Amino acid sequence: MTQPLKQSPKPATMAWCASEAAPSLLALGSSAHSAAGAFGDGASESSLDLVSFDLAKPGQNLDPVASVKTEGGRRFTSLSWGALGTDGPFPYGLLAGGLQDGIVSLWNPYKIATSQGSDPGLLHTTQVHTGSVNSVQFHPVKPNLLATCGGDGEVDILNCDNPSAPQMYKPSESAKTHQGSEVLNVAWNKKVPHILASCSNKGTTVVWDLKQKKEVISFQDPASRARCSDVSWNPEKPTQLLVAYDDDRQPSMQMWDLRNVKYPFKETQGHTKGILSVAWCASDPNLILSCGKDNRIVCWFNSSAGMELFCELHTPNTNFEVAWAPHKPSVIAASSLGGGVSLHSVQTQQTSGMKYCPSWYRKPCGVACGFGGKMLAFGRSTASASITGEKVPETSFCHSLVVPNEPEIVATADMFESWRSEKRLQEFCSQKVNISSGQADEGLMWNLLGLQFDDQGRTRLPALLGFDQERIEQEAERYLGKKPGSLMGPPPEEETTVAPSSSTKMLGPDLSDAGADDFFKNLAESTEQQRAADEAAALAAIAAAESTPVAMESSTNWSSGPESLIKQSLLVGNLTAAVECCFKSGRMAEALLLASGGGTTLWTRARDEYLRLQGDSFLTTVGNIMTNDFEKLVANSDLKNWMETLAIIATFSQDQYPALCEQLAHRLQSEAADIRSAVICYICAKNFSKTVGIWANTHVASARSNKLALQDLVEKMTVLQEVTRFNQADPLFNAKLTQYAELLANSGRLTAAMRFLTLLHDDASSTILRERIYNSAPMQMSQMFGRPPAQPWQALDVRVLYTPPAQAKAQAPHPHPAQSYQQPAQSHQQRQPMPGYPGQGVAPPAPAPPQSNSMMPPRPNYPGSAMPPAAPSMPNPYGGNMPGMPNSMGPPSSHHQPAPPPMTPTPAPPVPGGGMPPAPRMNSALPPAPKVGGCGPAPAPRPGGVAPPMPSACTPPGSMHGGMPPQPGLNQGYPGMPTAQAHAAPPQPVQPPAAPSPYAGHSPNPYGAAASSPSAAAGMMTPGKSTAPTASAAPVVDDMPVCWPLPTKTQQKGSTTRTTAEANAAIQSRSFGGSTQGDPMPENEVAHVRNVMTNLLDTVSAQENNPKKREDIAKRLEELYSKLVAGQIRNAASQKVLHLVSCLEAHDYAGANKTQTELCTIDWESNKNWLMGVKRLIPRG
């Protein structure tokens, strides 16, 4: 049984509220179909109940709202809720009920609900039919019309415009089809409002036309089924209707089209017993509900192929009515004969195989907003009907739009971007001056910013501050009566010295005798003429002097008092005393006059004394100007006259101008708290940070909104940065510019936003925004701004570690050595001494368990790791038992001795209980051990996967362990032993040349990436190819055993073969790469290296479009990063890597290539992999 969402135990007929004001409200009327109604139980009173539900609340019971009694205790046969007056006197609409005895009543549900049943809300009651009322239905389009049908075979129409006195009409005056039958149900056409359908218990369905007031058509089931229990119209197609038959033998639902009523065009049985009610979903015309006597509620999907099962609900009782919730499409209500009213959801009960999605999930329109102000809008567009009245098919649209998030700044931002792109910021400042004509401070600020673009703008600053030179000269001329400079007489003429010429060409040609006579005659005449002219000029001067008023003769007596002392000091040449006497006697002008002839020192002292004695602030300023002491001038200046001070330093200070402007600004800001005047001085000083700081604190108050204020601030900062060429990191500037760039980006101005972000220097807060803007249009951005920005996050390579089942089985831990290597007793009779021992021959290995053929036990960690217990010993060619090998002659040996220090040069002492290491059992298919470094064949490995040291042609017995046997738990394994040696076996008499590699399927190499590289794989090739090792053990550590089989560097000095020595040295160099060679590089520096390399790789890849090359370089660079983090690169090489990165940042590709070449000389063998990647990455400089 299907569990309902909510339920009411009261058997009732029901109706959903038609008003959107109460979408979860239902009306329940005591059903006449129940047992009490059928047998007329008077003890059970009939009522009209209003209930509601909230699916979020716990519990399954419907919440009662109100309840009223019906007149005469009549029970309901049908309920219908209409939308009449929902926007007027009936907020919840009208409720109509068909009751027993042919009564139809109208209620106002709003009054019942608000009064909680104290007001019955009954509007009208009348008898419409002589028998029972089987159905009442409000019109879905015209809610004032109510259709009723009853057991008297009549169909009636009530006009409820006046609910208290409705008018009743007949659909036809000559209706004869339903005569003698019981009309069971009626249904209004949802598209054509004047069409009505009714069905009877005789199987006849009639279609009425209320406009023509007659029957349009009638039809019956071709199979002669009787009792049409329900009828319903298609919500979308006006000519189609559904008829249900209450026939227990042949239940059926038939879909008819009135254009051809001979046969139904679609039919389904659906139920096993008679169908009592159907409901066509108004929200999705493809879904149909039906319920029947088989205790099932079925939702059908009306597909083109037929009726398909959408969902099925099993109930404990027979349901006689189902209805869709008008405002909650997926919810349905069902009334049963004995189980009350229950609510269900077709969404939660949908059949698993059904793929149909109901149309209420389909959105008629919608938008999706994206980064950059982009919006994708979709919806349906219905064109207007044509002139002929033909319906135009509905179409859909999908538009990509740019919708600015901040439309108030877009227009101004676009204009400013055009000024910037055209590099006309000086003209922009002039325009801002015109706009801010009413604000003196704002206009002065923009004037000053525009002045900074002019190289000679400093000379125009006094005029900008109100000190216009032309105006001052005009006022002086009016005061003097003459042009300034003419009152004091002409300036003294500078004497011109004519250099004597060494040549006589300037004197003319040499004179002859006759010419000389004429010369002297003319010379006398010219001399007389010159003398007469000089006398005339002297007379004119005397006349002029007589006409000029002469000042009164001074009455000063220079023969007594201080004047006499002044005169006497002058006569003896002591000008200093004369000047001081003048100052003492108050003769300032005479003191300055005398000092002017006494040299620079005396003049300077006299000038300073004169200014001190005067005590005038202006003269002090003049003195500071004359002495070039502008710092003192600014420090002592009156801040009320700061413009005068700024004009003075702009005119006279020369190179000290920026520092003096900043000094004046600091005084204005700290002493006078005049930040508006201070910012002018900071602009003159070109102090970017101070100016931006003041602007940021005052820009909000000068604009209408925060965003407009931010835009004005960014305009000022951008212009000031262009003027000052500021390229340092400033947190406030970065924050404001990033905030503004984000507003532009969200308004669709991505290019402008990126232009602003390029002004920032070393700003980490905007990296995410840069990355989003760049990747929103990477092609366009790369063409305009070059390489992509740095990634704002660190890329992590997240991979799923998956091991195939076969390999996982091979990697499983091996059983206990004592069990794995036990052999039958007869195996010792077949075992022969191992090769490489003095005086011993070569014998085939003993058989081994099958599992040991595929994998050797894992090598334990060394040193200090736990080891498995020793296996039983085996016979030793030197006598005694060898520890760690099976022996059928006695129990396992537990004798352990501490190992002496390695590489002891003393002879090997006797070995108690045995002298040689054990010879383990090996797979007979393994190839012979290779010769390495001129040594003999390698011995077979022991169970730990590591070959024991054995005496050979290059290593005497006992030298590897100080003459002592290997001790269990210590030298069961050696660090860094190559896989090729670990799986080596004694040489075989015959080896097939085409045998496959015996290492396929073995456990992964425990020695890192070296064994997986191509060079390492060469050590595990099939016979016929080189089996030389490509890696050796880690370098020798003090007080630890010497690695085998390669000689150490000390041993290598005695090598007689240069080729072997070089090969061994190369192998040891590669093996040394896994150890720490330098200090690990800090994470931030590694991240910086990664970002620079990644950006360059992205740029190169975009240009070359070679994915394989990119992948190869990326892998090589990953090795570089890992080595930098682990300290596996020498410090000198790490520093050169950082220098290489700095060269790449500065686009100094020649320097980068040079640094890369230098890196190739440092540990080339261990670093060549990533060095080749860097070389392929760097462009040629």
Residue 514 confidence (pLDDT): 66
Residue length, the chain? 1181
- The region of weakest confidence among 307-316, 328-337, 857-866, 1050-1059 is 857-866
Comparison of pLDDT for 1099 and 274, the residue scoring more: 274
Q: What is the spatial distance between Cα 497 and Cα 507, in angstroms, rounded to a whole number?
A: 17
Comparison of pLDDT for 921 and 368, the residue scoring more: 368
Please determine, for residue 871, whether its predicted confidence score (pLDDT) is greater than 60: no
Residue 994 confidence (pLDDT): 40
What would the pLDDT profile of 451-461 be if each residue is shown by its tens digit? 888 887 788 88
Any residues with CB less than 8 A from the CB of 685 and at least 6 apart, and which?
658, 659, 661, 662, 665
Residue 176 confidence (pLDDT): 80
Residue 191 confidence (pLDDT): 93
Q: What is the spatial distance between Cα 28 and Cα 23, in angstroms, rounded to a whole number?
A: 15
Comparison of pLDDT for 325 and 568, the residue scoring more: 325
Please determine, for residue 812, whether its predicted confidence score (pLDDT) is greater than 80: no
What would the pLDDT profile of 45-72 be if each residue is shown by its tens digit? 789 999 999 999 999 999 999 999 998 8
Residue 108 confidence (pLDDT): 95
CB-count exposure of residue 316 (10 Å: 0-12, 13-18, 19+): exposed
The strand pairing partners of 874, in sequence order, are: 882
Instruction: Pick the closest to residue 669 from 682, 660, 650, 656 (CA basis).
Output: 682
Please determine, for residue 651, whether its predicted confidence score (pLDDT) is greater than 50: yes
Mean pLDDT of the chain: 75
3-state DSSP call for residue 16?
strand
What would the pLDDT profile of 825-849 be if each residue is shown by its tens digit? 343 333 333 333 333 343 444 444 4
CB distance 639 to 672 below 8 Å: yes
Residue 187 confidence (pLDDT): 96
3-state DSSP call for residue 177?
coil
Rounded mean pLDDT of 754-775?
86
Rounded mean pLDDT of 146-158?
93
Q: How many CB atoms are closer than 10 A to CB 201?
A: 18
- The pLDDT confidence band at residue 622, using thresholds 50, 70 and 90, is confident
Say what the alpha-carbon torsion angle 868, 869, 871, 875 is, to the nearest 10 degrees.
Answer: 110
In 210-306, beta strands by DSSP E: 214-220, 228-233, 240-245, 252-257, 266-268, 275-280, 287-292, 296-302
Written as one string, the DSSP assignment of 886-904 is: --TTSPPP----PPPPTT-
Residue 593 confidence (pLDDT): 83
- The pLDDT confidence band at residue 1076, using thresholds 50, 70 and 90, is low
Q: What is the spatial distance between Cα 6 and Cα 8, in angstroms, rounded to a whole number?
A: 7
Residue 1073 identity (one-letter amino acid): G
Residue 309 confidence (pLDDT): 93
Please determine, for residue 533, whether its predicted confidence score (pLDDT) is greater than 70: no
Please determine, for residue 702, whether its predicted confidence score (pLDDT) is greater than 90: no
Residue 366 main-chain phi, psi, to 5 deg: 180, 165
Residue 28 main-chain phi, psi, to 5 deg: -120, 125
- The pLDDT confidence band at residue 590, using thresholds 50, 70 and 90, is confident
What sign does the CA torsion over 111, 113, 115, 119 have?
positive
CB distance 917 to 942 below 8 Å: yes
Q: What is the DSSP letter of 245?
A: E
CB-count exposure of residue 1017 (10 Å: 0-12, 13-18, 19+): middle
Q: What is the DSSP letter of 350?
A: B
Residue 976 confidence (pLDDT): 39
Residue 607 confidence (pLDDT): 78
Please determine, for residue 550, whether its predicted confidence score (pLDDT) is greater than 60: no
- Token duo for residue 663: 């000094």
Comparison of pLDDT for 450 and 916, the residue scoring more: 450
Instruction: Pick the closest to residue 223 from 177, 260, 192, 269 (CA basis).
Output: 269
Q: In sequence order, which ranges of 1054-1163 are alpha helices (DSSP H)?
A: 1058-1072, 1083-1104, 1107-1126, 1131-1145, 1149-1159
Q: How far is CA 691 from CA 719, 728, 952, in A?
A: 12, 15, 83
Please determine, for residue 212, whether its predicted confidence score (pLDDT) is greater than 80: yes
Residue 1050 confidence (pLDDT): 60
CA atoms within a 13 Å half-sphere pointing along the CA-CB vector of 961 = 23
Percent of the chain at pLDDT exceeding 90:
25
Q: Which of 559-563, 572-576, 1111-1115 has the highest mean pLDDT?
A: 1111-1115
Residue 259 identity (one-letter amino acid): R
The strand pairing partners of 67, in sequence order, are: 49
Instruction: Pick the closest to residue 447 from 432, 469, 425, 468 (CA basis).
Output: 432
Residue 96 confidence (pLDDT): 96
The DSSP H or E segment spanning 24 is none
What sign does the CA torsion over 663, 665, 670, 672 have?
positive
Residue 696 confidence (pLDDT): 86
Phi-psi sector, 737: left (phi>0), alpha (psi -120 to 50), beta:
alpha
Residue 389 confidence (pLDDT): 52
CB distance 984 to 900 below 8 Å: no
Please determine, for residue 859, whether its predicted confidence score (pLDDT) is greater than 50: no
Q: What is the spatial distance between Cα 116 and Cα 97, in angstroms, rounded to a whole number?
A: 19
CB distance 1166 to 1075 below 8 Å: no
- The region of weakest confidence among 124-128, 329-333, 422-426, 810-814 is 810-814
Q: What is the DSSP letter of 528?
A: H
